Amino acid sequence: MAKKHKSQLSTKWWLDYFNEDDIVHWQKLVEVLGFKGHYPSKTQCKKAIKRVYVNIRDFLEAVASNQKVPKHGSKHELLRYTQNTQRYFKRKKIVSGSPLSALLRDIA
């Protein structure tokens, strides 16, 4: 139970961190997703992130435990994975315009 509680706290910390609309947070997200190079603007970060398909719950857990973020090859693969695992994330927990919101995909 202590491990689960620690994981939830870590996930909450990352959720708070990536919900702030600041260039440093955008650049950190790009780095965590494994992009190489320098992304000096939010626009460039958004363009890079737009090409990535990740389950947000998996993303937050991977980052909180210092693991590689699992990625999916397409929107369809992400949809299938999310439906099969039921690992949905409530949109209302994500601040509009934040780095984390850039990971949202309409998979309905």
End-to-end C-alpha distance for the chain, whole angstroms: 33
Give the burial class of 74: count Cβ atoms within 10 A of its Cβ; 0-12 exposed, 13-18 middle, 19 or more buried.
Answer: exposed
Amino acid at 81: Y
Structural domain boundaries of the chain? 2-103
* Region label for 19, one of left (φ > 0), alpha (ψ between -120 and 50) or beta (otherwise): alpha
**What is the 8-class DSSP label of residue 97?**
T
Question: Rounded to whole angstroms, how far apart are CA atoms 68 and 59?
Answer: 9
Amino acid at 41: S
Q: Which of 89, 95, 102 lies closest to 60, judged by CA? A: 89
Q: Please tell me the predicted confidence (pLDDT) of residue 1.
A: 41
Q: Please tell me the predicted confidence (pLDDT) of residue 8.
A: 60
Q: Please tell me the predicted confidence (pLDDT) of residue 103.
A: 92
Please write the tens of the pLDDT for every residue from 6-63.
456 556 766 666 777 889 889 989 999 999 999 999 999 999 999 999 999 999 888 8
| Paired strand residues for 53 | 72
Tokens of 16: 């708070």
